[in-house]
Structures are given as C-alpha cells and as structure tokens.
Structure 1
C-alpha cells in the first residue's frame, strides 16, 4: 500500500476505507475518484471533484487497463459495497494506491460535500429495476 493514504481511513482486510470527508480532502490533493455506479445514476448526481472517472462496476474488467496505476484512486458507488469489490479486483490486477469510499455518494451527500446535480436526469421508479429519468415514459 502506498503512503498516499497513510493516516487516513480504516484498514479492514487490507483495504483502506475512507470517510467522505477524507476522500474529498484527498481528491483535492490529487486522488482520482472512480465512480462505479450505473450511468443513469451517475448522470443525475455525481461527485464534484477535480479528477472524476466513471465506469460501471460490471464493466471494470474491460476498462481497468485505462486507469492510471501510478495515481491514487478512490473507488465510489452508492453506498460502498460494489466499490469494495472493484477495489479488490484492482488490487488483484496490480493497483497499489487505491481506497474505497465508505458510505458512497449517499454519505457524501449527507455530509454536504460538493456534487454535480442535473435535475433533467432526475430518476423516478418504484424500485431499481424500474428506474428511468424523471418525466420519461418507459417503453
């Protein structure tokens, strides 16, 4: 594990888990935030940080070779579960300067951290399987 994340977060089973406040502070110091939520969710609300990348977690195996191995990466999702799996995958593929955002964008928003919100992409639906942009009819 690289020293970039030293003195930040909690290490559990070899994975650094950062609070939203810690993650934001580290993004301002040069970390890249990798959002692994579905595109429809990321297009409505996303993290407002200097360096932001998006790749749906189920597509990471075909995307990871484009990620910078020599840069600190913080992986984020909605609540911190799928991002943890992506962190494990990336560690297994040689990434060493990597951490998980505990609580995901849910806790990021609760903490009042900067976000980009596109209300035209607001979501509606009674469950995840029915999510669609607000105001659009499903087929």
Structure 2
C-alpha cells in the first residue's frame, strides 16, 4: 500500500488514468448528435444503401455547384421537409465547410432519423477529394 501512496507513484498513477481516459474519449463520443462521416465512408454508404445527400446550403450556392443527385433543402426549411426524407436509408448532410451540418443532424435526429451524419469538411472536402460537381 505504501507503494501506491508514495509521491512519485501517485503521479504515475494519475498520469496513467488521464491517458486511459483520453484514449477512450473517441469511442465514448461516437454517438453524439453531430456525428461526422469521412468522404470515402459517405460515398460507400450512399452507394451501397441507396442513401441520400442533403445539401443545406442556400439555393444560389447549390446551383453554382453541388454533389450529383443531392437534394437542396436549406437549414431554415429542413423542418418542413422532414416528411419527404427516407427514414430507412442513410442521410449525409452537406454544407460548405462541415460546420453548419451538425445543426441539421440534430434536427433530423429529433424527428426520429437514426442514420444521419454530416460530411466532414462539407463540399470543400468533396471538391478537394476530386469528386465531380453538377451545376444547375
């Protein structure tokens, strides 16, 4: 018992506990409402399970360039379009930089959508990944 209560050993034990907590943090925070998904994972999920990209940017930005087959539903009109979205398929929310999407994910989860995530990095990640854009 003296071994654990020694000054140096106490510091080592505290550092070990803190390190363990930091290692567990990503696993514990996975189920949060602002779940992000990497570009390659999003593409695979959409292709394999016939999911849907929902672009929440303003219509002008959407028309300037968007992910092919993406639906444009702005963040302020999302509540009124909830009934038109499939609850049994994955939904990936897309914004410009990956910052606004968390709010849309939270809104959709409040309406019972379980398989919804936000594209990490938004449309910027899409274009930086060399993926095609469609202009309307």
Identify which range, 38-47 or 57-66, moves more after superposition: 57-66
| Moved >2 Å (runs of 4+) | 10-16
Q: How many residues matched?
A: 107
**Runs of 5+ consecutive residues of structure 2 not aligned to the other structure:** 1-28
2:17 equivalent in structure 1: none
Q: Does 1:68 align with 2:52?
A: no
Q: Deviations over 1:37-92 (max 9, x none)?
A: 000000011002xx421101111111112111111111111011211100001001
Decide which structure has greater helix share: 2
Q: Which of 2, 6, 11 is the aligned partner of 2:30?
A: 11
After superposition, the CA RMSD in angstroms is 1.8
Decide which structure has greater strand share: 1
1:135 equivalent in structure 2: none
Q: Quote how far apart the aligned CAs of 1:11 are.
A: 2.5
- Cα separation, 1, equivalents of 2:44 and 2:135: 20
1:91 equivalent in structure 2: 109
**Runs of 5+ consecutive residues of structure 1 not aligned to the other structure:** 1-9, 119-139
TM-score (norm 1): 0.70
Matches within 5 A, 1:114-133: 114-117=132-135
- Cα separation, 2, equivalents of 1:113 and 1:97: 23
Q: Does 1:20 align with 2:67?
A: no
Over 3 Å counting, the alpha-carbon distance change for 1:98 and 1:60 in structure 2 is same
Task: Return the index of the structure with the highest Cα Rg.
Answer: 2
Matches within 5 A, 1:42-53: 42-48=62-68, 51-53=69-71
- Cα separation, 2, equivalents of 1:26 and 1:54: 19
